[in-house]
């Protein structure tokens, strides 16, 4: 049985070593602050202050109605340009969108004829181009329909689908991105910190000191697991409260205590993975390569980036042995949908089983490497 005093003092030693490592401290602070904010807001879900130029060859009330609909904050004020200026502006990158309204636009609309507008999109601005083109099409269709129906006309179709977006009514992508980034960083840093703690012992020569002390590999491993897991747990808690909830304004629906309990079970598994990588690698560069090879599949295939249902069946089955799969499921269930323990208990049980397996395997490997 491990002696609690040994585990406590060894863990405190790990925390002091981490505080004296400026590179690791910088990584922790950045990962749970600016990285989360940048990841959540880097790709806008709607066009924002997109530059647009309009060639209005009709100069009619119908064309003016279209220009008036292009408003902030989605678009900058439309610039009226000539044909030659439209092409030159696109080539120079001054406009993301250019709209050409042909002559006779209003007349053809009132005559019931099909009218074609030319919309040019600068696809090098991929985030704006992808969402902005659809946004512009929706504006054009709605304004043309309102112009033709006239004031007071309903223009309702025979069948109308009423869409209700649950848990994220405004479909704000940053809500999902911010929480998913916290989940990814919990996994990444827990593996890095525990693996680096073991590598640090070997590089600094303190592993020999531990071998002659009255401590066991079990106590050494427990100390690294609880100390590095505690650092990640505190950092993720502060990130969710200060960055995700307050800074980004993401509402957190469920029990925060239940989420922290699930995070601790996940950290039990991932810190054990970090110990295993620390026994395999002989230097920090080797540890980094091992983490890259492991972390990218864990993040991409766990269901945090894309739904698991869209993956091949054998990939879904394989990823059930990964702790990140169950952590993503319980995190999204608790924080987004307000799920209770009666809903997420299978994920809790799976994390406990996976963590126990990883811990046992890593402990066996640590004993061999120390011996």
- CA gap 69, 147 in Å, rounded: 12
Residue 222, in any domain of the structure: yes
Pairing of strands 118-121, 97-101: antiparallel
Same domain, 216 and 111: no
Domain total in the chain: 2
Residue 142, in any domain of the structure: yes
**In contact, 21 and 65? CB cutoff 8 Å:** no
- CA gap 195, 173 in Å, rounded: 33
Same domain, 192 and 99: no
Per-residue pLDDT tens for 31-60? Answer: 999 999 888 877 655 677 788 899 999 999
Per-residue pLDDT tens for 60-89? Answer: 998 898 889 888 878 888 899 988 888 888
Residue 303, in any domain of the structure: yes
Residue 56, in any domain of the structure: yes
Same domain, 230 and 312: yes
CA distances from 72 to 64, 69, 124 (A): 16, 9, 22
State residue 197 phi and psi, 5-degree precision: -60, -40
Same domain, 36 and 67: no
Same domain, 186 and 124: no
Residue 166, in any domain of the structure: no
* pTM for the whole structure: 0.76
Same domain, 108 and 203: no
Same domain, 14 and 77: no
**In contact, 301 and 317? CB cutoff 8 Å:** no
Same domain, 76 and 206: no
Count of CB atoms situated within 10 Å of the CB of 168: 13
Number of H helices, E strands in the chain: 15, 4
Residue 165, in any domain of the structure: no
Same domain, 77 and 223: no
Same domain, 214 and 302: yes
DSSP label at 309? G
Residue 164, in any domain of the structure: no
| Cα 14 versus chain centre, distance | 30
The CATH number of residue 87's host domain is 3.40.1710.10
Closest CA to 192 of 278, 279, 293: 278
Per-residue pLDDT tens for 214-244? Answer: 888 898 899 999 999 999 999 999 999 999 9
Query: Tokens 């491993």 — which residue?
Result: 221
Same domain, 15 and 63: no
- CA gap 289, 281 in Å, rounded: 9
- CA gap 259, 250 in Å, rounded: 16
Tokens of 32: 């749970």
Residue 300, in any domain of the structure: yes
Which residues form the domain of 111?
52-149
Per-residue pLDDT tens for 257-309? Answer: 999 999 999 999 999 999 999 888 888 889 989 998 998 888 888 888 777 88
């Amino acid at each position: 049985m491990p002696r609690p005093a040994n585990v406590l003092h060894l863990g405190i030693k790990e925390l002091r070593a981490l505080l004296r490592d400026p590179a690791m401290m910088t990584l922790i602070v950045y990962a749970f602050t600016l990285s989360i904010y940048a990841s959540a807001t880097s790709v806008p879900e709607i066009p924002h202050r997109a530059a647009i130029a309009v060639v209005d060859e009709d100069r009619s009330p119908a064309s003016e109605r279209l220009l008036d609909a292009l408003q902030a904050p989605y678009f900058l004020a439309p610039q009226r340009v000539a044909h030659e200026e439209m092409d030159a502006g696109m080539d120079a990158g001054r406009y993301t969108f250019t709209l050409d309204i042909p002559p006779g636009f209003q007349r053809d609309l009132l005559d019931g004829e099909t009218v074609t507008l030319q919309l040019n999109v600068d696809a090098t601005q991929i985030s704006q181009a992808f969402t902005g083109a659809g946004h512009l099409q929706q504006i054009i269709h709605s304004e043309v329909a309102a112009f033709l129906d006239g004031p007071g006309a309903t223009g309702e179709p025979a069948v109308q689908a009423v869409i209700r977006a649950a848990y994220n009514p405004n479909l704000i992508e940053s809500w999902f991105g911010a929480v998913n980034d916290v989940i990814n960083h919990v996994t990444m840093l827990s593996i890095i910190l525990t693996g680096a703690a073991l590598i640090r012992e070997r590089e600094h020569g303190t592993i020999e000191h531990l071998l002659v002390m009255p401590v066991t590999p079990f106590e050494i491993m427990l100390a690294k697991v609880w100390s590095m897991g505690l650092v990640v747990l505190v950092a993720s808690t502060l990130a969710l409260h200060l960055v995700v909830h307050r800074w980004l304004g993401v509402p957190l629906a469920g029990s925060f205590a239940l989420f922290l309990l699930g995070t601790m079970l996940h950290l039990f598994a991932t810190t054990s993975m970090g110990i295993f990588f620390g026994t395999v690698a002989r230097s920090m560069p080797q540890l980094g390569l091992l983490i890259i090879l492991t972390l990218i599949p864990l993040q991409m295939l766990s269901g945090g980036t894309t739904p698991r249902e869209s993956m091949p069946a054998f990939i879904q089955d394989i990823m059930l042995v990964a702790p990140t799969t169950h952590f993503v499921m319980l995190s999204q269930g608790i924080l987004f949908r307000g799920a209770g323990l009666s809903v997420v208990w299978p994920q809790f049980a799976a994390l406990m089983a996976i963590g126990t397996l990883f811990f046992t395997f890593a402990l066996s490997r640590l004993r061999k490497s120390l011996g």
